Each structure stands twice: as structure tokens, then as C-alpha cells.
Chains A and B, each alone.
Chain A
Amino acid sequence: MVALTRRRRPITIIVLLLLALVACATMATALGAVSVSFSDVLKIFWNKASPFNFSTTWPHGSETIILQLRLPRVIGAALVGAGLATAGVLFQGLLRNPMADPYIIGTSAGAALGATIAMLLPLSMAFLGFGMVPVLAFAGALATVFLVYYLARVGSKTPVVSMLLAGFVVSAMLTALMFLVITMSDKLYDKFHSVYSFLMGGISVAGWGQVAVIGPIVVVGILLARLWAFRLNAFALGEEGAAHVGVDVEQSKTVFLALGSVLTAAAVSIGGLIGFVGLVVPHALRLVLGPDHRLLVPCSAIAGGAFLVIADMLARTVHPPREIPVGILTALIGAPVFIYLLRRHGKEYAL
């Protein structure tokens, strides 16, 4: 199968993956805590998209559930998965580190601290239709990356090792601060479940508003990553090698760091700290498709989106009307799939 896919043209692979994403999204929209028949789902879509309407035979609530709750949530999940997987490709390629994931330089700790502080603020506060939790999570993630970047900078260079170490230390400090805030606060005792939900990850999309803000950020981010993917290929030669083939190493690092961080921050703001997607999806696709980032970036984005759409669907439907944290499912499904691919691949695996 590996050889087979390699012989196909890249465009074919991307189209096939996109079809798979659409199929997953359709299934995820049809399934949920409340059952709406598949034909009703299709009719509701048709009525919305075309001037010729079926007569409404379903309860008013079904239309709200499909068009205002499930569809934005499914798209939100796809955006989060795509953003995390793309950020994972960028960080793994940039840092040439197989353990790199979107959170490796501290974004997760910054986001968690931001979200925790936001949970102490009055619930009535809002910004662009978002509650304070996504806003401060986004801000916390980005602020952390700026801090790490600044700390790791030596003269005009940012060595990868100092970036990893600075990221690790800043992460540890921010995580400690977060737990300090939780411990010192009276109010958070009541809100512990909210902190927990954020740390475990879960798609929190209440309507189209969030999708309209996060969507463009993620889509533009992925397109830019694809546009500069050849530079990541050069990075595989090592920084000196990349410089030899004419890539501005320091500038590229800054660009990819910023791009990966914005994608991660956007994903975290509506998804919390969902683990595994950003680590495993890029690795899995590298096993199947090979290391060319021009193919790896778009394919990871689409596959990451589809993966999270399915994981989120399960999170919503396994134990209704309760939702289980999606982060549990990404690891439970992702780990066996990845081990299977790793075993099947057989050969020694390199980035």
C-alpha cells in the first residue's frame, strides 16, 4: 500500500483525503446525542442550500440541532484537528525532533494559565462573541511563545536547543503558576470541572461565531505553511545544509515558529489541550507518504481534521447526553493506529 500511494500523483491523494474528510464530517453531523434521521439531515441541508424545499416534517428543534449546533461543531473540530496537525508538522520539521508536538515550546501551559485566570472572571465578560476562556487561552499561548523565543535568542540566532530548553522551563513555571492560581482561589473549587475539561480537551463551539473567527486563521495558516513547505524540506538537511541550498535559516525559523504558534493558539482556544493529534498525525502520514513537506503539510491538515471530527463524534455519542473529553479518545484511538503503522512499516523510521 505504501508503494501504491507513492506512485499516485499528489493531487489525487489530496482529493481522496478531502473526500474522506467530507464523508467523516457528514457522518458526524448525522450522529449526536439527539437522534435525527439521516434523510431528515439531508433534507435540512437541501432546504438550506437550494430554492426548492421539502416540506418540513421534522420538529423545529432538529433544524437548530443540525444547522446551529452540530455543523458548526463538526467544522470547529475539523479546524482544530487541521490546525494542530499542521502545527505538528511545522514543529517536527523545524526542530528536527520526533517528540515535537504543537505544545513543545510551552503554548499549552500558557493557554492553560490563561484559561484558568479567565474562569475566575465574571461569566458576563465577552470579546468578539467569545467568552474570556478562549480569548485568554489564545493570548496566553502566543505570549508564552514570544517569551520563549525572546529567552532563547542568542545574538541574531535562535538555536534549536535553547528554544527547546527555554520552552521546557517556561512551561514548567507556567504550569506551576496555574496550579497555584487554582489552589489559592476559593471560586475555582466550584469550577474545578471546567479547568479539568480544558486540560483534557474538548471542542467548545456554541455556534457559527467562533468558526467565523477561527476558520480564516487556520485556513490561511495552512496555506502559508504549504507555500513555504520547500523550506522545511531544506531543514531536513540540517541548518547548515539548509543555508547551503539558499534558505535564510533564521528568518525561516521565526516564520515557522510564528505560524505554528498561531495555528496552535487558534486550535487551543476552542479545543482546549487536545493531545496526540499534533504528534501522531504527521508521523503517521510521514510513514505512509514519505517526508516531502509539500505533500505532508496539506495531507496532515486534512487527515488531522478528519481524525478529530471522528474523535469528537465519539465524544458526543458514546455516553449521551454526557460528553466525554475528546483528548481521551484521540489518545485511545490514535495510539493503536500509530503502533500499527509503525509495525507495518518495518524499516527504521527517520524524520
Chain B
Amino acid sequence: MRKWICTLVVLFVIVSSSTLAACGQESSGVVLTDDQGREVSVPNDPQRIVSLGSPITEILFALNLGDRVVATDDYSDYPDEAKSVAKVGAPWPGFSTETILNHEPDLILSSEGAIVQQLEPHGVAVFVVQPSDIEGIYKDIRLIGQMTGKKKQASDLVDSLTARVSAVTDKTASLTDEERPTIFYEVDATDASSPYTAGSGTFQDELIGLAGGKNIASSQAGWYPISMEELVHADPDMIILEDYQYGVSPDSLGARSLVWADLSAVKNGHVYPVEDPDLTSRYGPRLVDGLEALARTIHPELFTALD
């Protein structure tokens, strides 16, 4: 019994002292709320940043913070300088905690929340950057600017992105319902009898709407396999292939089956590839490039001069 009490007392002392130590650290930084609603105390002017998400890496480089990025996830490949930064793994099959900590980061920006519990006990600030729409991207760019003392650059970047988005929406906002083609956006047709598509709440869905199209999958949330019946029923005016990178070419759709060959978009040749899927799926500044590319695809008559 006495042993137990001793152990408890020792534990209490350890816990309270480490809590005090943590409190001590907090006072030197700023407390910000991340995209998971967590209050994170971020150190002042972090110099050793680990980016666990290619969109985050793109934001950091766009704010001229490339020299502070000490490591990234395996997928961070843009801009070219990011390729030579040390890599620490990927969400699948998992990040290496010790490799991350070995880079002695003072701030970790992560595109997903699952990693937080793995890293936070080691006393590093982990801030989750997980915007759900373009406004959210602007907010996160500003937050990253605030953390790193690049408020001005962040604000300028957001202004230029906003201006480019407006240049597109100024032309598409006035389109009537009939002038907006219905669109099937194919994410992955590994199973051509129920291909994956992007529903509401995805960046692809938001971009299609802004670019002057109507996503036939908008009634459902998130990425999901659409039923072919629904696709035939909707008979979209246009099909956009994000799985172009997996070897799906626009002229191969008719060969999938009679049903595909019979879709209006296939018969009329209105099937278009997404040349660079990173532009439409990564929530970095290049998402606006993706918007411009989609706008040119969906409304070539309005956007020939956008190049």
C-alpha cells in the first residue's frame, strides 16, 4: 500500500512539473485555432518547419518560406526545390515519428489529424491545415503567414488569388442555368461499372461550380462510387477525366461498354482530360490554376484569352 502511495506521489510530481513546463512554453508563442478546432500554441517565428502535406508545402514555398522547411511528406514535389527537401514518409503506410523528430522541428503543419497524437506528446506544436473550401485556403494561408511573420506576403498572395478567381467568376456568374453544362467528373474508374466521382464538399465540386458547370454528383457528399444508372439518367453534357493520369484517355470511354458509348458526352466527343490532377486536388495556391484550366475546358468560348 505504501509503495502505491509513493508511486502515485512520484507520478503526480512528474505530471505536474511537465504540465508546468508545457505552460512555460506556451507563454512564448501565440495560440491559434487549427482546422480541427484545436487550440495550438505556436512558437514565435518558427525556423524549422516540417510540412506533412503537399498543399502545405506549396503554400510555404509560395510565401518564400522554403528555406525554413526542414522536411516534408513523400508526396511534396512542387515547386522543384521541394523535391530535394528531406522526406519523412506518407499518411499511408505511415509517417516515421523518429525521422520527423530527428529534424528537430519547432512547428509541424499537417494535412491530417491522425498524426497529432503521435507527435504532440513530444512537445512539438502540431497545427492541422485542412481547409474545406477556397475561403478556407485563404484563411489558412493568412494563418501560416501570421505564424511565420509573413503577414504581408500572405495577404498579397490571397489578394492575387482572389483577383484571379474573380476574373473567372465575373464571366461565369452571369451564365443562365441552360448555359451551364452538366458535368460528370471521373476520379477513378478502376471499376468502370461504378466509377468514383467527387460530390459536394470536395474542391473539385467547388471548382466545377465556379468554372460555370453543374456537377451531376453534387447531391451527395464527398468522393463516392456513382451508380451507372444515375450516370445514364443524368446523361451529362461533358465528362472530365481526373484518372487521365492512370491511363484513361478520352477516346477509350466508348470502348468500356455499350452504355458508355451511348452517353451523349461520349457520342458528341465532349470528354476532356485533367492534364495535371494536382491542380484540382491539392488545396495550395495552384488550385486557382486548376480553376482556370477547368474554366477553359468547360467554357472555351469565354476563356480563350486566359492563358
Contacts and interface: CB of A to CB of B under 8 A. Distances in A.
Contacts of A183: 92-93
B257 interface: yes
Interface in A313-349: 316, 320-323
B233 A61 contact: yes
Interface string A183-227: 100110111111001000011111111000000000000000000
B225 interface: yes
Interface stretch (B26-34, B105-113, B242-250, B292-300): B242-250
22 contacts: A32-B227, A33-B229, A61-B235, A69-B229, A123-B246, A123-B248, A124-B249, A131-B190, A183-B92, A187-B246, A189-B92, A192-B92, A193-B188, A194-B191, A203-B193, A204-B191, A204-B193, A206-B259, A209-B257, A321-B220, A323-B225, A323-B227
B229 A70 contact: yes
Given A193-B196, A204-B194, A123 B189 contact: yes
Considering residues B188, B189, B226, B232, which has the most beta carbons from chain A within 10 angstroms of its beta carbon? B232
B179 interface: no
B192 interface: yes
Contacts of A193: 188, 196, 223, 225
B45 interface: no
Given A204-B194, A323-B194, A65 B233 contact: yes
Contact residues of B: prevailing secondary structure: loop
Contact of A61 (B189, B232, B258): B232
A77 to B, nearest CB: 12
Given A68-B257, A206-B256, A191 B188 contact: yes
A206 B258 CA distance: 9
A69 B226 CA distance: 13
A197 B233 CA distance: 24
A51 interface: no
B5 to A, nearest CB: 47
A113 interface: no
Contact of A321 (B191, B196, B230, B235): B230
A270 B74 CA distance: 35
B90 A186 contact: yes
B167 interface: no
A316 B227 contact: yes
Contacts of B246: 122-123, 187
B13 interface: no
Interface string A27-56: 000001110000000000000000000000
A321 B259 contact: no
A206 B224 CA distance: 17
A64 B193 contact: no
A204 B194 CA distance: 8
B275 interface: no
A133 interface: yes
B228 interface: yes
B74 A186 contact: yes
Contacts of A64: 232, 259, 262
A203 B194 CA distance: 10
Given A122-B247, A131-B192, A68 B227 contact: no
Contacts of B90: 186, 189
A119 interface: yes
A206 B228 contact: yes
Contacts of B230: 33-34, 320-321
Interface string A90-114: 0000000000000000000000000
A119 B191 CA distance: 9
Nearest to A68: B259
B64 interface: no
Interface string A1-35: 00000000000000000000000000000001110
A171 B224 CA distance: 31
Contacts of B224: 322
Given A186-B90, A194-B190, A321-B220, A124 B247 contact: yes
B1 to A, nearest CB: 48
B252 interface: yes
Interface in A271-329: 316, 320-323
B46 interface: no
Contacts of B232: 34, 61, 64-65, 69
Contacts of B192: 131, 206
Contact of A123 (B227, B228, B243): B243
A194 B194 contact: no
Contacts of B225: 193, 197, 322-323
Nearest to A198: B191
Contacts of A126: 255
From B75, B248, B257, residue with most partner A Cβ within 10 Å:
B257
Given A124-B247, A321-B229, A68 B262 contact: yes
A133 B224 CA distance: 19
Contacts of B196: 193
B57 to A, nearest CB: 16
A126 B192 CA distance: 12
Contacts of A204: 191, 193-194
B91 interface: yes
A207 B190 contact: no
Interface string B254-275: 0111111010000000000000
B248 A321 contact: no
Nearest to B194: A323
Between A191, A203, A207, the greatest number of chain B beta carbons within 10 A of the residue's beta carbon is seen for A207
Given A73-B193, A320-B227, A321-B220, 14 more contacts: A33-B230, A34-B232, A61-B235, A65-B229, A133-B191, A191-B188, A194-B188, A204-B191, A206-B260, A321-B229, A322-B220, A322-B226, A323-B194, A323-B227
